[in-house]
Amino acid sequence: ATIDLSAGNHTVKFMSYAFESRKTITTLKLGENANYDFGYGSFRYCKIAELNLPATSTYIFGGESFRETAITTLKLPDGIDLTFGTNAFFKCTALTSVEFGENATYVIGSGCFRYCPIPKVVLAPNSTYTIGSQAFINTELTELDMSAGNMTVMFENSAFNCWLDSKLYCNL
């Protein structure tokens, strides 16, 4: 099943648990010039595989809003400030890529990408990041790239798990 909001120009608040466990929901189409608020657990346990975020819309991701979905890639648009609640993408076992946009402020809640098989995180320039406790713990992360420079990053306790043979690239 598809939830199609592609017409845009609207405000949508998905209340807590709005579509939780609706395994027939595989597609969520979002529109331009809209405001989306994904409440706690709103799409938790659905089979959504793709989440495209139009650059002209705004988003709030509540806690566990997309927990254990089938999303494979999360590409965040330039210039859109985003807040991800606790465990927003927890245990999305198909999620292997997160691309941060430039000129934005990101608040990544605790456990946000916990148990996702993300191998590499590249932080975009001209952005500010607050990375919550255990945000990337128990992932397959082996590389954190901050080499683009011109960014502010605050790491909370245990933001990343300890990994062997890891790489950290910084532009100091």
Q: Please give the average per-residue pLDDT across 109-125, as a whole number.
A: 93
Measuring CA to CA, which residue among 48, 103, 58, 56 is closest to residue 83?
Answer: 58
Question: How much is the pLDDT for 162?
Answer: 52
Structure tokens that stand for 140 in this block: 């397959």
Q: What is the C-alpha separation between 5 and 12, in angstroms, rounded?
A: 9
Average confidence (pLDDT) over 89-94? 97
How high is the pLDDT of residue 171?
Answer: 53
Q: Quick one: tokens of 104?
A: 């934005």
**Model confidence pLDDT, tens digit, residues 15-56:** 999 999 999 999 999 999 999 999 999 999 999 998 999 999
Q: What percent of the chain has pLDDT over 90?
A: 76
Using DSSP's 3-state secondary structure scheme, residue 164 falls into coil
pLDDT of residue 164: 39
Q: Please report the pLDDT score of residue 149 as a whole number.
A: 82
The candidate with the shortest Cα–Cα distance to 41, out of 13, 68, 17, 69, is: 17
pLDDT at residue 161, as a whole number:
67
- Among 25-39, 77-91, 139-153, 158-172, the range scoring the smallest mean pLDDT is 158-172
Give pLDDT, residue 144.
Answer: 85
Residues in contact with 95: Cβ distance below 8 Å, sequence separation at least 6, in sequence order: 71, 72, 73, 74, 89, 113, 116, 117, 118
Is the pLDDT at 79 greater than 60? The verdict is yes
Which amino acid, one-letter code, is at 16?
Answer: S
Q: Which pLDDT value is given to residue 166? A: 54
d(CA 130, CA 123): 11
State the average pLDDT over residues 118-126: 91
Q: Which pair of tokens denotes residue 102?
A: 């430039």
pLDDT, one tens digit per residue, over 102-114 is: 999 999 999 999 9
Average pLDDT over residues 159-167: 60
pLDDT of 172 reads 41
Output phi, psi for 155, to 5 deg.
Answer: -100, 125
